[in-house]
Amino acid sequence: MTVIIAVSRDLGVLRRWSGVLADAGHELHELSADDWSDRVPAGTTVCLYDLGSYGDADQLPLIAALSCHASVRFIAMAARPNADEGLSLLRQGVRGYCNRLASAEAVVALVSTVEQGEIWAGRQVTDFLLSSSLAAVQSVAHASDSLLDQLTVREKDIAQQVAAGRSNKVIAADSGISERTVKAHLNAIFRKTGIRNRVQLALEVSQGSHDGRRMSSG
């Protein structure tokens, strides 16, 4: 069971998040946006922070809490998610950025993903990063083969699954290994190739396939 706090001035949003996460087996504490940082319950691992129905909530308490509560993974919930705001908050330390009216399934998946140490960037931020990365790909020569040839058969298979958009949980289930092992393989891939994140890895794999240089999936 995950201990979660939800910070908002919108009672309706608090009640909705509370119901969704309680149904998923989590313990959720609803806190008002006033002086909430001093009342974070012990054992809290995730915080949903509402940026307001018009994006007008004060972000300063959230930014301040990032350093005061280092063990808590903060998720900013936006009324109108956009790449600039999302990237800014992620750079300052939030672990997730999502639409405040996301579906129940998305909220549960969001909390699970962030709790496991991964980042949930949201479609707007992801699309922006992919577009930026693709532009960079078009402007420089890639050595996909030389990078990916350094990988073991299992690492290549996991790289392909990452490129297909699969989460660590799905990769683990399909491959018959634990999520911890998937993460270990990904760390090995990043270390061997110099690739920094899943987006770059997906681009390298996709570029190699586009050029007719397919990896083994054995």
Q: Where are the alpha helices (DSSP H) in 118-178?
A: 123-139, 144-148, 153-163, 168-175
Model pLDDT for residues 75-116, shown as the tens digit of each residue: 999 999 999 999 999 999 999 999 999 999 999 999 999 999
CB contact at 8 A, 84 and 111: no
CB contact at 8 A, 207 and 201: no
The percentage of the chain sitting over the pLDDT mark of 90, rounded to a whole number, equals 51
CATH number at residue 25: 3.40.50.2300
Residue 124 has pLDDT above 50, yes or no: yes
Cα torsion 139, 190, 47, 173: sign: positive
Is there a domain that residue 218 lies in?
no
| H helix and E strand count, the chain | 10, 5
Residue 216's pLDDT is what? Answer: 32
- For residues 158 and 66, state if they share a domain: no
- For residues 7 and 69, state if they share a domain: yes
- For residues 54 and 102, state if they share a domain: yes
Round the average pLDDT of the chain to a whole number and report it: 85
CATH number at residue 183: 1.10.10.10
Structural domain range at position 174: 142-210
Which residues sit opposite 4 in a β-bridge? 28, 46
Is there a domain that residue 32 lies in?
yes
Q: Of 71, 98, 126, which residue is a domain's last?
A: 126
- For residues 112 and 18, state if they share a domain: yes
